[in-house]
Chains A and B, each alone.
Chain A
Amino acid sequence: MSSATCPWFAPPEIGRPASALIRASFALLVWHTVPGGMGLESQPHPVGIARLFDLTFLSDPGVLPAVKAALVPVLLLYVSGFWAPLATGLMLAATVLPGTLDNSQGSTQHSQQIISLILLAQFLYHLWAAAFPQRHPDRAQRERWSVFAAQQAIVAAYTVTALTKLLRSGIGWISDSANFPIQMVKNIRMEFYNTLQPEAVSGFWGSTSAFAQRLFLESPALCRVLLTCGLALELFAVLALLGRRWAALYGAALIAFHVLVRTMTGLNFRFHIAALFIFLVLPWLMSLRFRRPAGNTPAAA
């Protein structure tokens, strides 16, 4: 492809073993995302499809255990790579329905949307590929694009995070970020009142948070610089789509960012970290293990 028509952004070059490992890893993540039961008998603040349908049937005894049992063959189908539109569609439903009911309680959780967004992206891609089979006739090509669709969903989530900050607070977000210690205190205190365990305040997370609070209160400029770096990382997340190495670099940086925020606030980002590792870091790691002969990697970098 000439440089004039070669896109800046292209799906990463991924071999079949790497592709299978990525699907298996994500299938495990989806399995952990779907709850085995819920005790929510109403949806007082319906969101998404709960505005149209009553989803409280999911709290009936036996419903979600049956969903999880039915999910096993679906996940195996997904890992196999066959019937991808069906597998991703069912997985999407299995995560969106309980997630929607959970978020229809008047308190929005933000830990699992990224899993459903990834599945939505893959579902849409595979529908498109099924509708226009002549566009991506090769299975290996579809597997690469499926990973690329997931990467785009992840990058979209981080871009939205940054844009929302700028749309709501403007550039003043940077100067206001010196108030971050307030959020750190809030999170550590709420963690304590969850369990009343003194470790929440005096344990590792509490101690590191207290240290960071003191540091940021003594040096608000340092607080602003660190948080602005985080904002920039989110805002330019699209760079992760420039290729396999960029994806790995950006994925590692975002994982480090989450670990740092976890250390300072006690907030948990396990689904985000897992998704970043599977779709951004793993393709590059697998390329080290399964190197192709030179000249056979059209979009390797």
Chain B
Amino acid sequence: MSRRLLGKVAPLGIFVALTALCLALKENFPFTHYPMYSDFSDQSYYVWIGDAEGEPIAIQNLTGLRTGRIKKVYNNGLQAVRAEVRRQTGSAPRKRDLTAEQRRAPGGETLAWLVGAAPDGALPALRAASPLRLYQVDITIDRGRVVESEPLSIAEFAVP
């Protein structure tokens, strides 16, 4: 790069440095590579929390924790399962192809995390709803329509 061109872009040192750091360090606060919507799959899912009867709980009202955050914890668990399968077999299944058995442990860990992260004031209500259940609903597009699956019970957790 010529010195003349360098002179024209030199004031952008912070921009260049932060861009490089965010891409290199990925998710290490305050750095992030903003992975949201970087991969538009033809399938996704959402989760919700149910009580012992399978009725949904307004989890944000009760704990302050949102379903989006709960899904991220669960999703990280699924990724760990995929990584473990890859380590054992040499190839990782897609998340959608994981069996109910393979989803159960991440689901249970997610519920345990939820109870641990909930404020103390929420615990009586969570105990009353116990065992908590994590439900997953798959979403796809089929012939120009968004199709949602029946809620699938992934795991349950007895609140101590």
Contacts and interface: CB of A to CB of B under 8 A. Distances in A.
Contacts of A173: 38-40
A180 interface: yes
Interface in A134-174: 148-149, 152-153, 155-157, 159-161, 163-165, 167-169, 173
A19 to B, nearest CB: 18
A21 B144 CA distance: 50
17 contacts: A9-B12, A47-B29, A95-B30, A96-B29, A99-B29, A100-B30, A106-B73, A120-B18, A156-B15, A157-B34, A160-B23, A165-B38, A185-B146, A189-B137, A193-B56, A193-B58, A196-B56
Contacts of B146: 181-182, 185, 213, 217
Contact of B29 (A7, A113, A149): A113
In this complex, the member of B12, B41, B113, B137 whose beta carbon has the largest number of chain A beta carbons within 10 angstroms is B12
Nearest to B58: A196
A177 to B, nearest CB: 5
Band of interface residues on A: 35 or more
Contacts of A10: 11
Interface stretch (B2-10, B81-89, B93-101, B124-132): B2-10
Given A48-B29, A182-B146, A9 B42 contact: no
Given A173-B40, A176-B40, A193-B46, A149 B30 contact: no
Given A10-B11, A120-B30, 12 more contacts: A45-B76, A47-B29, A105-B73, A117-B30, A176-B42, A179-B42, A186-B44, A186-B46, A196-B61, A213-B146, A238-B12, A238-B15
Q: What are the nearest 10 A-B pairs in CB distance? A: A107-B72, A116-B30, A194-B60, A193-B48, A156-B18, A152-B15, A176-B40, A161-B34, A190-B67, A152-B14
In this complex, the member of B23, B71, B76, B117 whose beta carbon has the largest number of chain A beta carbons within 10 angstroms is B117
A208 interface: no
Band of interface residues on B: 35 or more
Nearest to A220: B144
Contacts of A159: 15, 19
A160 B22 contact: yes
A258 B48 CA distance: 26
Interface in A97-111: 99-100, 103, 105-110
B40 A217 contact: no
Contacts of B4: 4-5
Interface string A216-242: 011000000000000000000010010
A179 B58 CA distance: 28
B141 interface: yes
A19 B117 CA distance: 41
Contact of B113 (A8, A39, A105, A186): A105
Interface in B42-66: 42-49, 56-61, 64, 66
B38 A103 contact: no
A164 B38 contact: yes
Main secondary structure of the interface of B (DSSP, over half): mixed
A195 B49 CA distance: 11
B118 interface: yes
A76 to B, nearest CB: 23
Given A9-B9, A193-B49, A106 B76 contact: yes
A6 B9 CA distance: 10
Nearest to A153: B18
A168 B11 contact: no
A30 interface: no
A33 to B, nearest CB: 11
Contacts of A189: 46, 48, 137, 148
Contacts of B144: 217-218
Contacts of A165: 37-38
A115 to B, nearest CB: 8
A199 interface: no
A156 B19 contact: yes
